[in-house]
Amino acid sequence: MHTRPLKLHIATLGCSKNLFDSERLAAALESAYTLTHSSDLASADVVVLNTCGFIDRAKKESVEAILHYVREKEAGRIQRLYVVGCLVGRDRLTLQSELPEVDGFYTQAEFDQLVEVLQGDLRRYLLGERRRIGYPHHAYLKISEGCNRKCSFCAIPLMRGPHQSRPFQDIVEEARRL
C-alpha cells in the first residue's frame, strides 16, 4: 500500500529575514513533504508558522495567526503545528504554557532541530540551500544574523542572538545559485 507524502505549509510573517529562513526550511523539508502554497492551505497536513516578535503589532499578528492554526488543528484540518521564529525567541515560556496544542516551538537558531524532528534533509539546511517561496523576480541574500548591541528599545539580540557574519565565499556562491 502506497501512502502519500504529507503536505507541508510554511506561513511566514514579518521581515525579509523570516522569508529567507522559511526558504531554507523549505529546501530542507521538500524531500520529505509536498510543499503547499498559501492558496492551498486547506490541503496541508503540517503547518510551520514563522513568526515576528519585533513590535507589538507584529506580535499581535503572530499570536492571532497561531490561534488560527490552533483552531485548524482542533478541527482536524491539520495534524501538526510548529511555531518558529522571533516571537519564540522573545516569549517561548509564555507560548509553551499558553498554547499546549502547538507541537513545537523553535527559534531561528534551532531550525536544524526542527528539520530533524520533521525528518527533512539536514545536510541541505546546513549547507544553506534554499527553495524560493517568495517573489520570483528578486531574492534576499542574508549576509549576517543577529546583533551585538544591547539597545534598551530593541529586542533583536534577544530574538536573533549575537551578530554572526557569513563567510564571504558562501555569500558569493549563494548569489550565483539565485
Give residue 152's pLDDT: 81
Instruction: Report residue 113 CA to chain centroid gap.
Output: 12
Give residue 1's pLDDT: 45
Q: What parts of the chain have a pLDDT lower than 50?
A: 1-2
Give me the domain span that covers residue 91. Answer: 7-137
Residue 49 in any domain: the answer is yes
Residue 75 in any domain: the answer is yes
Residue 63 in any domain: the answer is yes
Residue 92 in any domain: the answer is yes
Residue 112 in any domain: the answer is yes
CATH of the domain at 100: 3.40.50.12160
Residue 161 in any domain: the answer is no
Do 13 and 49 form a contact (C-beta atoms < 8 A)?
Answer: yes
Residue 175 in any domain: the answer is no
Number of domains in the chain: 1
- Write phi, then psi, for 45 (nearest 5 degrees): -95, -35
Residue 176 in any domain: the answer is no
Please tell me the distance from the alpha carbon of residue 117 to that of residue 114, in angstroms, as a whole number.
5
At 11, the amino acid letter reads A
> Tell me: the pLDDT tens digits for 63-82?
999 999 999 999 999 999 99
Grid cell for residue 25: 526550511
> Tell me: the pLDDT tens digits for 24-45?
888 888 878 888 866 666 778 8
pTM of the predicted protein model: 0.77
